[in-house]
Amino acid sequence: DSHAIIQLSKMITMNAPKTKIEIARDLGISLRTLQRWIKKSGLQVPRGLVCPKKQEEILEVLGYPVEKEHSVD
């Protein structure tokens, strides 16, 4: 269900740094699977906590829709 995926994507990038273990858990996959997908994509992800911006980048590269907040002028 695409609505569930969008909600999941929003939950994952809620402005809090997370570990790869937490990101994998939120996606419903194992850490090893996340690591393989990241490696296959060529994305460089640092050790330790992953900042929200990098989390969005991971989701986009892996094909998850990321709903970005737009500021209103």
Where does the pLDDT of residue 71 fall: very low under 50, low under 70, confident under 90, or very high at 90 and above? Answer: very low
pLDDT single digits (tens) 25-61: 989 999 999 999 999 999 999 899 999 999 999 999 9
Handedness of CA 59, 61, 67, 73 (dihedral sign): positive
Q: Which three-class secondary structure state does DSSP give residue 9? A: helix
